[in-house]
Every structure is written in C-alpha cells, then in structure tokens.
Structure 1
Amino acid sequence: MSWRGAEKVTGQAQGRGWEGAVLRLLRAKDYVFTVTDAQDVTPEYRRVRFTDGGMLAATGVHPTMWVRLWFDNAGKPHQRAYTLVEPDPEAGTFALEFALHEGRASNWARAAGPGDTVEATVQGTGFEHPEPAPSHVFAVADPASLPALNSLLTALAPVPATIWFEGGLEGLPFRAAAHHDVRQVPRRDNGRHLTEEVKSALPELLKDSPRPYVWIACDTATTRALSAHVRKELSVPRQRVNALGYWRAG
C-alpha cells in the first residue's frame, strides 16, 4: 500500500464511530481492497475477487481467516465480516463470497466490478487447531458461513464430519468429501426447525465420538441457542465448541 493510500484509510477509520474507535485501540490494521473480477455463482450467491493492498504479506493466512469490510449506510459506517476464499499471499489476491439478501453489503456486492475499492480492517480473526485432534466434527452452517465451513473442513481434512446445512446447496461451492455426512435442513420458523433437528440428533451422535469438536455458524439467535444447549445440556467442554453468529434474522 502506498503512503497516500494508508493516509486515506486512517482518515476514513476515524469516522467509523465507536466500532472504529475500539478497533483502533486494539491495534487493528486497515487496508484498501480493489475488485478484479466478480461473478454470480447462483442468483443469490456472488463471488468477488480482489487484490489485497498488501494485507496477506503483512498478516499471513490461517484457516477461517476473515476481514471486516466497511460500507457507507446513509452517512453512517456499516461493517460486515467475510471469510477469505482462495487467499494467495504471493500474488496478493483472494476472493470473498456473498450470500445475497437485502442489505448494504449485499447491494455493494451486486454492483461490484473491476476497479471498485472497499476499505477493510483486520482484527480479531484467528484459528487454533483443536487439541487433542477431534475424532469427529459436528458443524452447523448456512450459505452465509459456507466459506468458513469450507476452510474449516479443509483444515481438518482427515476428520469425519456431520454437517447440518440450513438452506439449499444446489450450485454452491461446497467442498464436501466422502467422509462428510451432509444433512440439508430447510429454513423454517426463523431457525427453530434447524435448532430442533440438531438437538434431536446430536446427543446420540456424541456417544460415539470421544473427542468431539462442535462448530456452529448460522444466524445469531440459532447460534446462541445451539451453543448454550451443547455446552450446558450436552456438557461438551467450552474449548471443544466454536460458535459465531453470522447474521441477524429480520
């Protein structure tokens, strides 16, 4: 990144409200990404490719790595987090995949084309391989968290997995393997149907897994309900559970 580009990002960061102020205190790093290509994977799923503004050379890459993108929303800062897809530190490129719905980030992605830029912050992302290594992965995901799910399954490639996926998978770039049991669940009742499906099946499945690893990444309410159930009712140790809400249901 040129000095002039860095100056621009710092100036913009100062107008990001309390979120930007907190990130600055945490020594977050700011970058400008430039769009090189965009394509519709499905009518509701879009992949956008970027040059990284020097980010990957400075930060390195790890599984499920994500960045915060900043958008203007009627004059107010609006940030959303996205997982890197196919990051290439040598080339300084990566892609982001957007599950499209109503919202500022999706609207930006729909219109994005070569030469467009977006400001980004890197802070808070990290990944620790579960130790001891899991005997089985239990994952709950949806289109919004699909890039992170793919990255997780790649990082834990030899481990068998049971995956509850809310919504359709047709046409989506899901990297499932033969040792992955994928259970598609339609979205009903604001995620309550998914919650009940997981609660019904998981106790019996856990009996055959001495070292489970539970990964939950769907809408915030569903994620909270399932993570609390797994920890409190099923007594899975906290360090064996990774849960992050990816979006809020309207």
Structure 2
Amino acid sequence: MAGSKGWEGVVLKLMKGKDFTFTVTGAEDVTADYRRVSFTDGGLLAAAGEAPHPTMWVRVWFEGAGRPHQRAYTLVDPDPVAGTFSFEFALHDGVASAWARGAKPGDTVDATVQGTGFTAPQPAPQRLLVIGDPASLPAINSLLDAYPQTPATIWFETQHASDADLPLRVDAARHEVRCVTRDGAALADRVKAELPDLAGDPASAYVWLACDTATTRTLTAYLRKELGLPKHRVNALGYWRPAAA
C-alpha cells in the first residue's frame, strides 16, 4: 500500500510491529458469502522463527475512501516451508470484503505483525468450549487442529443460509456444533443456558470466545463473574462491531 498508514501505523511501529507484503496466488468462493484468498507470505513465516501457533493473526491494510484501514485476519493453513497461507473473509459491506471480492493473482497487500501469541491452557482442557461465528471460523479451525483428540462443543452463530456449508473442521465423534441464528442476544442467551452443564470444575474448564464485541464482553463477564472461571481459563476477543444503523 502506497503512502502512510496513518496514526495506527505510527502506533504499531512504536510497538515494534514488523511490516510484510503478501502476494495473492489465488482466490475462491467457498460460499456466496465467504471467500478464501491464498498468498505467498513475503518472508513472514521465516521471520517468525517458530512453528505457527493456533489462532495466529496479522493486521492487514486495505485502502478505502482515500485512507488506510487495518483489519486483523487469522492465518489459514500456514506452511513455513513453502512460505504460503490463506485468509478467509466473511463477506459483508466494508473495505476488506471489497478488496477480497476483487482479489486476483499478483495483487499485493501490506500487513503488520505485532503481538499474536497463544498461551496453551494448563492443565490441558478435557473439553474445548468454543463460541464464535464465520468471522472467527479460521481461528476456531486452528484451535480444533491444535487439539485433535480433545472433545469440543462449539456454539456457532450463523447469519446466511450458506453458513451451513462453511468448512468447520469437526469430527462427529468428538465435536458437537450448536448453531444459533444471529438475532440480537440469541447467542449469549443460548450459551448462558447451556454452557454451565458442560463447564464442570471452573479451575479446569476452558472457554475460547471470539464474536462481535458486545456479545464477547457480555459472555466474558458472565463466565468470569457468574461461573467463576479464572482469567487464564477464558480466552476472549471481540472480532468485530456491527455497522452503525
């Protein structure tokens, strides 16, 4: 991306963020509302100096209305040897989705890496309790891949009929998916009604949560204050904010 990245770029530089340029190698529509774009990594994975960790993400810069906008995306199937990975876009109205819809081989996009660690829960969870939506699907899949033998219950919020065809990497023998249609507080209400029966001992339960910021905030407070889960047993991050009406 030509030109300055604005005040956000200045802040990331002060926080020792490293910049990389990714080059598109291909793109495909997974569904009418979900698109996968593949890249060469511009040296990112080699510079990381360690194996990619679950939910690894970077800040990507997109041009819109004459200025840069940064959005965070999870690396999908990173291959350090080949220097490749993909991003998956839950399509909506916005600068990142607009870019993804038109992405073609040879296109480039800039990214900044600053703080993308993952701390494995200790003791290891007996069951993963996962709450998310299409925007966090890549991170959910990477988490399931990292714990291939661990049972999981996934509350997955959907918006489009096509979301039923999204590539959740679940095994019916170990994973249970509970779909919730997006409708106000429906996801939070469903989780509050059902999660306590699965959480067991708060000291050993593990909840991974990433959806819209309001729902994430509501459920994080519920898990910590009402269910008594310790801070290190709840991994929560607000992935997006609803567009203003």
TM range (shorter): over 0.9
Q: Which residues of structure 1 form unaligned runs of 5+?
A: 1-8
Residue of structure 2 equivalent to 1:3: none
1:194 corresponds in structure 2 to 187
| Aligned position for 1:182 | 177
Amino acid at match of 1:221: A
Displacement of 1:208 in angstroms is: 6.7
Matched-pair contact (CA < 8 Å) for 1:137–1:160: yes
In structure 2, what is the equivalent of residue 158 of structure 1?
149
Q: Alpha-carbon deviation of 1:211?
A: 1.4
Partner of 1:113: 104
One of 141, 144, 157 as aligned partner of 2:132: 141
Report if the CA contact (8 A) 1:136-1:209 is conserved. no
Contact persistence 1:67–1:83 (CA under 8 A): yes
Q: 1:225: Cα distance to partner?
A: 0.5
Q: Map Cα deviations across residues 23-60 of structure 1 (whole Å, 9 max, x no partner).
A: 11111110000001000000000000001111111114
2:207 is the alignment partner of 1:214: yes
Which one-letter code corresponds to 2:25 in the other structure? T
Residue 52 of structure 1 corresponds to 41
Q: Look up the SS of the partner of 2:165 in the other structure.
A: coil
Secondary structure class of the residue paired with 2:104: coil
Q: Which runs of 4+ in 1 moved over 6 A?
A: none
Displacement of 1:210: 6.1
Indicate the RMSD between aligned Cα atoms, in angstroms. 1.4
1:172 aligns with 2:166: yes
Q: Does 1:244 align with 2:233?
A: no
Q: Which amino acid aligns with 1:153?
A: L
User: Which runs of structure 2 are paired with 1:16-95 in the superposition (5 Å)?
Assistant: 16-59=5-48, 60=50, 61-95=52-86
Deviation readout 1:171-224 (Å, 9 max, x if unpaired): 2111011211110010002xx000000001112222377611101111111011
For structure 1, which segment, 98-107 or 198-207, has the greater mean C-alpha deviation from structure 2 after superposition?
198-207
Matched AA of 1:72: E
Q: Percent identity?
A: 62
Contact 1:63/1:151 (<8 A) preserved: yes
TM-score, with structure 2 as normaliser: 0.93
SS of structure 2 residue aligned to 1:170: helix
CA distance in structure 1 between the partners assigned to 2:169 and 2:241 by the alignment: 25
- For the 8 Å contact 1:135–1:210, the answer to whether it is kept is no
Q: Structure 2 stretches of 5 or more lacking a match? A: none
Count of aligned positions: 237
* Residue 97 in structure 1 maps to residue 97 in structure 2: no
Q: Write the distance in 2 (CA, Å) between the matches of 1:224 and 1:51.
A: 35
- Which whole-Å deviations, capped at 9, do the CAs of 1:155-186 have from their partners, x for residues lacking one? 12211111100015422111011211110010
The one-letter code of the counterpart of 1:174 is L
